Amino acid sequence: MASKSTRRVLLGVTGGIAAYKAAELCRLLTQDGSDVQVVMTPAACRFITDTTMQALSGKAVLTDLWDSRPASGMPHIELTRDRDIIVVAPASADFLAKLAAGLADDLLSTLCLARECPLLVAPAMNRQMWESPATQRNLRALGGDGVRIAGPASGDQACGEVGPGRMLEAEEIYREIIAALQPAVLAGVRVLVTAGPTFEAIDAVRGITNRSSGRMGYAIAQAAIDAGADVTLVSGPTALSAPARARLVPVVSAQEMLDAVNANVADCEIFVSVAAVADYRVARPASHKMKKSDETLTLELEPTVDILASVAKRPDPPFCVGFAVESQDLERLAEDKRRRKKLPLLAANLAQDAIGSEESELVLLDESGQHRLARAPKAVQARRLVEHIARLFRSGASVKLKAVRR
What is the model's pLDDT at position 210? 92
Cβ atoms 198, 251 nearer than 8 A: yes
E strand map for 32-74: 35-40
Peptide bond preceding 164 in cis form (omega within 30 of 0): no
The SS3 call for residue 175 is: helix
* Dist CA 220 CA 384 (whole Å): 9
What is the model's pLDDT at position 351? 78
What is the model's pLDDT at position 64? 83
Backbone angles phi, psi at 135, to 5 degrees: -65, -45
Task: From the candidates 26, 117, 159, 268, give the one annotated as an active-site residue.
Answer: 159
* Dist CA 29 CA 11 (whole Å): 10
- pLDDT tens string, the chain, 406 residues long: the values are 444 446 899 999 999 889 999 999 999 999 888 899 999 999 999 999 999 999 999 989 988 877 666 545 565 677 778 888 999 999 999 999 999 999 988 899 999 998 888 999 999 888 888 989 999 999 989 988 889 888 887 766 666 676 678 888 898 888 788 878 878 899 999 999 999 999 999 999 999 999 899 999 999 998 999 888 999 999 999 999 888 789 999 999 999 999 999 999 999 999 999 999 999 999 999 999 999 999 999 999 999 999 999 999 999 999 999 999 888 888 999 999 999 999 999 999 887 776 767 788 999 999 999 999 998 888 889 989 999 999 999 987 555 555 444 4
Domains of the chain from N-terminus onward: 8-180 (3.40.50.1950), 190-405 (3.40.50.10300)
What is the model's pLDDT at position 387? 93
Cβ atoms 124, 16 nearer than 8 A: yes
Backbone angles phi, psi at 191, to 5 degrees: -120, 135
Helix (H) or strand (E) holding 338: helix 330-341
- pTM confidence score: 0.69
Please say if 159 is a catalytic residue.
yes
What is the model's pLDDT at position 305? 97
What is the model's pLDDT at position 3? 44
Q: State the sign of the Cα–Cα–Cα–Cα dihedral 19, 20, 23, 24.
A: negative
* Dist CA 7 CA 185 (whole Å): 19
What is the model's pLDDT at position 319? 97
